[in-house]
C-alpha cells in the first residue's frame, strides 16, 4: 500500500459520517486530529485518564505540562471549573474563540487529574471552529487537546501537517482546511481579584483590557509562566535567525512588509495574515533544508507579541 492511500484513509472529510466516526473513536478512548480556528488539536476524551495518557505518549510531552479542555460553552465550562465574575465577563466577550481561561477545578470535577498535571486548576476554552464544536457536541464530553505536533516541534495548521508529524499513531484526522488564525489561543489565569497572562496568543492584551477595564498582569515581564512552557519550542530542523533584513549564504529568508525575502509572512505587513502563515511557512522553509531560516523583524505590538513569542522559541537554544 502506498503512503498516499494510507494518508487519504486517515484524513477524513468532516461530513456527517466523518463526525460520527470521530465521536465513536473519542468515546472509546481513541485519539483524533481535530481542526480548530487556532491550530489543529490532538483530541481525547478529557474524562478518560487512559485516553489522556495516550496524548502525552503520542506527543512525547513531559508529564508536568497540563492540557486545555475544549467545551461547547460557559455552561459546560462551569461543570468543571469555578467560574469567577472575571472569567464570566471574558467568556461573554471572547467565547467561542481563541481565549483559554485557567480557573480552579471544581471539587467534583470529572476531568482526569492528568489533564491538570496534578494542579488545582484547569485550562478551558470553547473553540469557534464549526468542526471542533460539532465534534464536542457529538461526544458530549470535554475534549483534552494540545496542539497536534510532537513536543517541541512546529504547531500544525493543516490536516497534512498533523499526518506528517503523528499520523501513524492516531486513529483519524478530520480535515477542516487551513486554520484561519494560525497561532494558539491566549492563555489567561483568572481568579477572584483579576487576571494575568500565561501565554500570549490570538487575543491581544489590548483586547482583553478593553473588556475588563483592568490592566493585564504580565508576570515577570514577558516571561511565560504556564508550566511546561520551555524556551525552545516550535522548532524547525534548521536553526533560526531573527530580525534579519538580508539573506546570507545558504539561508532562506522569510520576509514581512518591506523585507521581501524568498517568501513573505505578509507582503502588506499585516499581522493577522502573518499569524495565519507563520507555522506553515516555517515548515515550508524547513523543507528546503537551508543552513538557517532567517526571519524579518515583526513589530512587537498586538498580535505581533504572540508571533514574536513563538519566533523566540523557534530560535532558542535547543534542549
> Residue numbers of the site for ligand TXA (CB under 6 A)?
36, 38-39, 41, 65-68, 98, 100, 102, 116, 119, 121-123, 125, 145-147, 184-185, 187, 198-199, 226-229
- Quick check: 100 binds Mg ion (CB under 5 A)? no
What is the smallest separation between the CB atom of 102 and ligand TXA, expressed in angstroms? 4
The residues in 145-174 that bind Mg ion, with binding defined as CB under 5 A, are: 147
Please identify, using beta-carbon distances, which residue of 41 and 255 lies nearer to ligand TXA: 41
Please identify, using beta-carbon distances, which residue of 154 and 253 lies nearer to ligand TXA: 154
Please identify, using beta-carbon distances, which residue of 247 and 283 lies nearer to ligand TXA: 283
- Quick check: 38 binds Mg ion (CB under 5 A)? no
Please choose which of ligand TXA, Mg ion, none residue 187 contacts, taking the beta carbon within 5 to 8 angstroms, the exact cut-off set by kind. ligand TXA
Q: Helices 159-166 and 3-10: crossing angle, nearest 10°? A: 120
Please identify, using beta-carbon distances, which residue of 155 and 277 lies nearer to Mg ion: 155
Please choose which of ligand TXA, Mg ion, none residue 118 contacts, taking the beta carbon within 5 to 8 angstroms, the exact cut-off set by kind. none
Please choose which of ligand TXA, Mg ion, none residue 133 contacts, taking the beta carbon within 5 to 8 angstroms, the exact cut-off set by kind. none
What is the smallest separation between the CB atom of 233 and Mg ion, expressed in angstroms? 7
Please choose which of Mg ion, ligand TXA, none residue 119 contacts, taking the beta carbon within 5 to 8 angstroms, the exact cut-off set by kind. ligand TXA
- Quick check: 134 binds Mg ion (CB under 5 A)? no
Closest CA to 31 of 63, 5, 55: 55
Q: Which residue is nearest to Mg ion (CB)?
A: 147
149 preceded by a cis bond (ω within 30 of 0): no
For residues 298 and 227, give the distance between their C-alpha atoms in angstroms, rounded to a whole number. 26
DSSP assignment of 228-283, as one string?
A: T--SS-S--SS-EE-S--S--TTEEEEEBTTB--SEES-TT--HHHHHHHHHHHHH
Residue 208's CB: how many other CB atoms inside 10 A? 20
Q: H helices of the chain, where?
A: 3-10, 16-27, 49-59, 74-78, 85-94, 130-139, 159-166, 205-212, 271-287, 303-315
Parallel, antiparallel or unpaired: strands 292-295 and 251-255: parallel
Amino acid at each position: 500500500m502506498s503512503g498516499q492511500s494510507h494518508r487519504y484513509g486517515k484524513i477524513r472529510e468532516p461530513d456527517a459520517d466523518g463526525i460520527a466516526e470521530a465521536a465513536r473513536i473519542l468515546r472509546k478512548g481513541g485519539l483524533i486530529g481535530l481542526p480548530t480556528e487556532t491550530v489543529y488539536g490532538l483530541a481525547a476524551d478529557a474524562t478518560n485518564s487512559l485516553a489522556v495518557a495516550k496524548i502525552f505518549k503520542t506527543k512525547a510531552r513531559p508529564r508536568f505540562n497540563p492540557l486545555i479542555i475544549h467545551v461547547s460553552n460557559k455552561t459546560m465550562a462551569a461543570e468543571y471549573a469555578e467560574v469567577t465574575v472575571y472569567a464570566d465577563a471574558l467568556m461573554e466577550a471572547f467565547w467561542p474563540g481563541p481565549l483559554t481561561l485557567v480557573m480552579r477545578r471544581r471539587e467534583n470535577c470529572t476531568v482526569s487529574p492528568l489533564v491538570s498535571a496534578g494542579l488545582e486548576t484547569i485550562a478551558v476554552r470553547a473553540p469557534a471552529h464549526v468542526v471542533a464544536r460539532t465534534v464536542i457536541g457529538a461526544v458530549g464530553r470535554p475534549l483534552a487537546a494540545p496542539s497536534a505536533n510532537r513536543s517541541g516541534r512546529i504547531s500544525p495548521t493543516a490536516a497534512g501537517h498533523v499526518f506528517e508529524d503523528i499520523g501513524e499513531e492516531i486513529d483519524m484526522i478530520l480535515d477542516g482546511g487551513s486554520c484561519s488564525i494560525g497561532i494558539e489561543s491566549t492563555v489567561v489565569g483568572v481568579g477572584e481579584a483579576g487576571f494575568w497572562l500565561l501565554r500570549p496568543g490570538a487575543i491581544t492584551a489590548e483586547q482583553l483590557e478593553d473588556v475588563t477595564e483592568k490592566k493585564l498582569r504580565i508576570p515577570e515581564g514577558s516571561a511565560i509562566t504556564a508550566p511546561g512552557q520551555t524556551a525552545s519550542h516550535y522548532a524547525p530542523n534548521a536553526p533560526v535567525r531573527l530580525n534579519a533584513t538580508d539573506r546570507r549564504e545558504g539561508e532562506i529568508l522569510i520576509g514581512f512588509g518591506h523585507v521581501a525575502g524568498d517568501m513573505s509572512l505578509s507582503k502588506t505587513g499585516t499581522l493577522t495574515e502573518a499569524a495565519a502563515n507563520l507555522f506553515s511557512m516555517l515548515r515550508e522553509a524547513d523543507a528546503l533544508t537551508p543552513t538557517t531560516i532567517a526571519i524579518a523583524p515583526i513589530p512587537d505590538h498586538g498580535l505581533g507579541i504572540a508571533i514574536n513569542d513563538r519566533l523566540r522559541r523557534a530560535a532558542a537554544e535547543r534542549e
